[in-house]
Amino acid sequence: MASSRLTSLALLFVACAAVAQAPTRVRGSVESFDGKTLVVKGSSPIQVGEKTEIVFTQPISLADIKPGDFLGVTSMRAADGKLTAYEVRRFPKPISPGHRPFDGRDDQTMTNATVGTVAQSGGGRELSLSYPGGSQKIVVPESAALFALVPGNRSQLVVGAPVNLTHDANKVALRIQVSAPK
């Protein structure tokens, strides 16, 4: 009985530690960057370390997307269940394949998957995407933002640049996605 409680307590501790170590996401625009400390509007300072990965969002067109490309597609789910993309990012390599709610909302999804086809459909342009255990068809309207993620660098972290980043519990950035300021 005591060993059972001890085992349960140990499992609870491991689960809590895993949750506490989950990366934190920050989105916004760069307020300042001194080469080491990044301040995103509305957030506390975040350190940019030697191991921080920086990627830049280079605009592309739908014609640049080919079967076999790996995409991250952020979509809105309509009442009828159809998905409409509002941001499409082409990754240089597969990252976290799958389909899941985005930002904790049921009406927004993130699909990280491989392109099967890009076609015209009655509702506009449509991507057929597949990932282990499933597939999705997503309509891509003309208004959707389309980017290729390419290696970035610290010089792109300028005032006003939109960023989407994750950091660890010590406030050290793990990965920063940066776009050109508008």
pLDDT score recorded for residue 76? 96
pLDDT at 74 over 60: yes
Least confident of 17-31, 85-99, 113-127, 161-175: 17-31
pLDDT score recorded for residue 16? 44
Is residue 17 in a domain? Answer: no
pLDDT score recorded for residue 164? 93
Is residue 38 in a domain? Answer: yes
Q: How far apart are CA 23 and CA 119, in angstroms?
A: 36
pLDDT score recorded for residue 123? 63
**By residue range, what is the domain housing residue 121?**
57-148
Is residue 16 in a domain? Answer: no
Mark whether 95 and 177 lie in a shared domain. Answer: no
Is residue 5 in a domain? Answer: no
pLDDT at 15 over 70: no
Is residue 85 in a domain? Answer: yes
pLDDT score recorded for residue 31? 97
Domain count, the chain: 2
How high is the mean pLDDT of the chain? Answer: 88
Mark whether 108 and 136 lie in a shared domain. Answer: yes
> Structure tokens of 33?
């960057």
Burial of 39 (0-12, 13-18, 19+ CB in 10 A): middle
Q: Residue 146 forms beta bridges with which residues?
A: 88
Contact 122, 82 (CB under 8 A): no
Is residue 12 in a domain? Answer: no
Q: Is 0.85 surpassed by the pTM of this model?
A: no
> How large is the average pLDDT for residues 101-127?
87
Which of 166, 159, 170, 167 lies closest to 29, judged by CA? 159
Mark whether 86 and 141 lie in a shared domain. Answer: yes
Q: How many CB atoms lie within 10 A of CB 177?
A: 20
pLDDT score recorded for residue 9? 39
Mark whether 37 and 91 lie in a shared domain. Answer: no
Is residue 14 in a domain? Answer: no
Mark whether 69 and 140 lie in a shared domain. Answer: yes
pLDDT at 103 over 50: yes
Q: How far apart are CA 116 and CA 63, in angstroms?
A: 14
Mark whether 119 and 178 lie in a shared domain. Answer: no
